[in-house]
Amino acid sequence: MITTDRLNAYRIMWTLVMYDLPTETRKDRKVASKFRKKLMEDGFSMFQFSMYVRHSASSENATVHSNRVKKMLPDYGKIGILQITDKQFGEMELFYGTRKAEMPKIPQQLELF
């Protein structure tokens, strides 16, 4: 049985990873590309260039993914990891130039055990 508690907008979390990695040398570009590919393998989606987001069913699950990102950090560059609730993420305003844009529809995620 699914309770409304499990799908509460304050329980569902988003993990945001923002990064600025060096790309001056071929090796730097390879490291940056590898980091980006690892993020996508872990279920992150590109929100903007150098900003990836991942939807998680709970704070505990978001922490698991945050810890995975920490384990794959490159030696150089700036990386920020932020966790926010689904409610906070839903309050974001998006614009394309001066036009307001609709938030992307996120499918309801259920956990089955």
Region 83-111: what's the mean pLDDT? 80
pLDDT confidence of residue 108 = 55
Phi, psi of 30 (to 5 degrees): -65, -45
Region 91-112: what's the mean pLDDT? 74
Region 56-69: what's the mean pLDDT? 96
**pTM (2 decimals)?**
0.82
Domain of 77: which CATH number?
3.30.70.240
More confident residue, 56 or 113: 56
DSSP letter for 76, please: S
User: 56 in a domain, yes or no?
Assistant: yes
User: 30 in a domain, yes or no?
Assistant: yes
Mean pLDDT of the chain: 88
86-89 LR contacts (CB < 8 Å, sep 24+)? 86/9, 86/10, 86/11, 86/12, 86/13, 86/14, 86/55, 87/9, 87/10, 88/14, 89/14
Q: What percent of the chain has pLDDT over 70?
A: 84
